[in-house]
Amino acid sequence: MVPHNLVSSQAQTGVIAILAAGNARRMRGGDKCLETIGGVPLLRVLAQRAVGTGWPVSVTLPPDAHARSEAIAGLSISVMEVPDADDGMSASFRALASAAMPLMIMLADMPEIETSDLAALIAAYDGSCPVRATAEDGTLGQPVLFPPADVTRMRNLSGDTGARALLRDQAVRLVALPGRRAITDLDTPEAWSDWRTRTGISR
């Protein structure tokens, strides 16, 4: 975990939102948010890493997501229920659109994102444009840190395309993260199996 003093004291405080309101259909009955890493559910692992930045953390959840709620119980975070979660990822963005502060969007199926990666995005943010993570080779990835003006525009998003439209036709500051952390998202049983084999990380 990165100590809070590694996040620039000059940075404007914002919110880290972990999007966990999806139905994980591609897991074919499983739940990627509840896949465990060393016995700890992924959603809790990511929430703990986000808390380590010193920024407030919010997790979006679908209605009646009891198991996911239990996975993050006791953490110093807020939970935002998304009643129209079936509309796709944009439903979470619309629910978050009232935040009048910088907002980092973090996906709930990216087990390699560390506190230090989130801190690097925060340190690169100066309020002028979004900050987006890339893989070490420059491949565009996640998370993305949006300034308040873009957060307000999230209320107009629809479908399951995320906030891609907000990144078009404007400057974006890119921050390269080590290896493939920014593009390693695991949303099928096969992806999880391959990742565990590659990394040696057990349940």
What CATH number has the domain bearing residue 183?
Answer: 3.90.550.10
Q: How many domains, in total, are found in the chain?
A: 1
Q: Domain for residue 27, yes or no?
A: yes
Asked if residue 71 belongs to a domain, the reply is yes
Q: What is the pLDDT of residue 6?
A: 40
Q: Are strands 131-134 and 140-146 parallel, antiparallel or unpaired?
A: antiparallel
- Let me know if residue 176 belongs to a domain: yes
- Cis omega (within 30 of 0) on the bond before 143? yes
Residue 110 is predicted with a pLDDT of: 97
Q: Which two tokens stand for residue 154?
A: 């999230």
Considering the domain boundaries, does residue 101 fall inside one? yes
- Examine residue 6 and state whether it is found in any structural domain, yes or no: no
**Domain membership flag for residue 203:** no
pLDDT under 70: residue ranges of the chain: 1-11
Tokens 């110093």 locate to 76
What residue type is 17 in one-letter code?
Answer: A
For residue 201, tell me if it sits in a domain.
no
**Where in the sequence is the domain holding 70, given as residue range(s)?**
13-195
Question: Would you say residue 1 lies in a domain?
Answer: no
CB 118 within 8 A of CB 104: yes
Helix ranges, 87-142 (H): 89-96, 115-124
